[in-house]
Amino acid sequence: MRELTGRQREILEYIISCVRGEERFPSYREIGRRFRLSSSATVSQHLEALVRKGFLEKAGRRLMLSADLRPARGVPVVGRVAAGTPITAIENREGYVDVASLFGDDADYFAVCVEGDSMADAGILEGDYVIVRRQDDVASGDTVVAYVGDEMEATVKVFRRRGKTIELEPRNDAYRPMRFGPGSGRVRIAGKVVGLVRKMR
Amino acid sequence: MRELTGRQREILEYIISCVRGEERFPSYREIGRRFRLSSSATVSQHLEALVRKGFLEKAGRRLMLSADLRPARGVPVVGRVAAGTPITAIENREGYVDVASLFGDDADYFAVCVEGDSMADAGILEGDYVIVRRQDDVASGDTVVAYVGDEMEATVKVFRRRGKTIELEPRNDAYRPMRFGPGSGRVRIAGKVVGLVRKMR
DNA sequence: CAATATACCAAACAATCGTTCGGTAGTCAA
DNA sequence: TTGACTACCGAACGATTGTTTGGTATATTG
């Protein structure tokens, strides 16, 4: 993928903002209006260059952003930084971080806010949102969300199967594992923890 | 908002799937082809009904999905679980976790993939994506992304100002803080860490 | 120097766009 | 029976689309 000229970068940036904002590709004349280009031929030329360099793709007559520029709507991931060029330059983008594209927006996923610090050693802190995939059968060693006790309170723990009993193991030396014998029925596995989102201030 | 007929629902569903998949509104003829309607006038009639009933909106000649139909990305956050009701029931939803809505999809935010475990005690692990807000001046104690050394390598550290020198402090006892005197010029603050996204398998 | 690339223009092209008009046919309630 | 609504048709409309042709000007490079 070759380098972009200044003008090409401007135009590409405008297209990306359009696709993000209005969820559609701007027309040639629209782009021309934005940059005071009275001829759509000029725009055509610029877009041709962007296709040639791999930033745009053509499906019939229709243009699209290339896959790695396509907004999963989220935050751009930047990679290594060439000295001098701005960090957020398009050339450095490796993709997007986004909960929906990372995990899927099916009904099979949901999030729970973490209470307590019993999983601190696994990098799961109080206030974090844990992304959970619904499933009943989890493997020993999986981090899971379980509902325990009469109150069916939600907890994040590591799941362990020890013969006929199961164990919910914290990741913090200050806490003890919970054990559930057969038929105690006080535990229900909600799903497996597949991700985490944290907001800091 | 009135009820939909069967045909109208079919067409609306097709439009929604188009907007989700290809991220653009299908043309009248395209819709016609899908449902074996040889006249674009028929499609026009159906879409008119969908606008009248509030499912589509018109901006000039252009049609859009109405706001509440627009693909809600993200994963639902579920709260406390009343015994018996399914966890993912709509009634339990407290909102959505989504990078874009949590942090904003401006150009002011970007993400970097974390290398190394120097911030493990702060719950920032190798492979995590750190969400960064661009800013030059950060406060002492902020977690920041900085580019250091001749290679301008990216690091996540806690920023400390000690008189005329600044310190980049790890959160792992196995590592030592980096110190930068005045004018050493080997460090550039990229921005403040405001969030984190982790994908586990 | 010639060659190549960028960056624009005006004008015209066929294709496609959304829209409109007039007409057919079936269903359902007043 | 008469409207009103749904569900379609073919044909044509003016507007907009992406594209092409042929041209000017500037900058960079071997």
Tell if the CB–CB gap between B97 and A99 is shorter than 8 Å. yes
Tell if the CB–CB gap between B200 and A197 is shorter than 8 Å. no
- Which chain A residues touch B87 with a CB distance below 8 Å? 110, 134, 147, 190
Dihedral-angle region of residue B54 (phi above 0 means left; psi in -120 to 50 means alpha; beta otherwise):
left
Q: Are B170 and B177 in contact (CB under 8 A)?
A: yes
| Nearest-by-CA chain A residue for B132 | A75
Q: Pick A23's closest partner by Cβ from B23, B75, B109.
A: B23
Strand C: list protein residues with Cβ under 7 Å: A 5-8, 32, 35-42, 45-46, 49, 61; B 25, 27-30, 39-41, 43-44, 47, 58, 61-63
Whether the pLDDT of residue A43 is over 60: the answer is: yes
Average pLDDT (A13-31) is 89
pLDDT (tens digit per residue) in A82-128: 444 445 555 555 666 677 777 765 667 888 888 889 999 999 999 89
D10: residue with closest CA to C1' = B39
CA B49 to chain CA centroid, nearest Å? 34
> Which residue ranges make up each domain of chain B?
6-69, 103-197
> How many Å apart are CA A130 and CA A39, to the nearest integer?
52
Give the residues across from A143 on adjacent strands. Answer: A158
Identify the residue with better confidence: A96 or A50: A50
Tell if the CB–CB gap between B99 and A103 is shorter than 8 Å. no
Domain formed by A103-197, architecture: Ribbon (2.10)
- pLDDT, tens digit only, all 201 positions of chain B: 457 888 888 898 899 888 878 888 999 999 999 999 999 999 999 998 888 888 888 888 889 988 777 766 666 666 644 444 444 444 455 566 677 777 765 667 888 888 889 999 999 999 898 888 888 889 999 999 888 877 777 889 999 998 889 999 999 999 999 998 887 667 888 889 999 989 887
pLDDT (tens digit per residue) in A162-173: 888 999 999 999
Q: For residues A93-125, b (16+ Cβ closer than 10 Å) or e, as one string? A: bebbbbbbbbbebeeebbbbebeebbbbebbbb
Domain formed by A6-97, architecture: Orthogonal Bundle (1.10)
C20: residue with closest CA to C1' = B41
pLDDT value at position B106?
Answer: 62
Q: Is the C-beta atom of A62 closer than 7 angstroms to strand D?
A: yes
Tell if the CB–CB gap between A97 and B154 is shorter than 8 Å. no
pLDDT value at position A143?
Answer: 95
Tell if the CB–CB gap between B111 and A70 is shorter than 8 Å. no
pLDDT value at position B174?
Answer: 92
Q: Is the C-beta atom of B32 closer than 7 angstroms to strand D?
A: yes
pLDDT value at position B155?
Answer: 87
Identify the residue with better confidence: B126 or A71: B126
- Please say if B118 is a catalytic residue: yes
Whether the pLDDT of residue A49 is over 70: the answer is: yes
pTM of the model: 0.65
- Which chain B residues touch A190 with a CB distance below 8 Å? 87
Distance from CA of A140 to the nearest CA of B (A): 14
Long-range contacts of B27-34 (CB under 8 A, 24+ apart): none
pLDDT value at position B1?
Answer: 42
Domain formed by B6-69, architecture: Orthogonal Bundle (1.10)
Tell me, in Å, how far CA of A7 is from C1' of D21?
24
- B194 burial (CB, 10 Å; 0-12 / 13-18 / 19+) is buried
- Please say if A40 is a catalytic residue: no
pLDDT value at position A17?
Answer: 87
pLDDT (tens digit per residue) in A145-167: 888 877 777 889 999 998 889 99
Tell if the CB–CB gap between B201 and A193 is shorter than 8 Å. no
- Which chain B residues touch A110 with a CB distance below 8 Å? 75-78, 87-88
Tell me, in Å, how far CA of A121 is from C1' of D21?
68
Q: Are B72 and A106 in contact (CB under 8 A)?
A: no
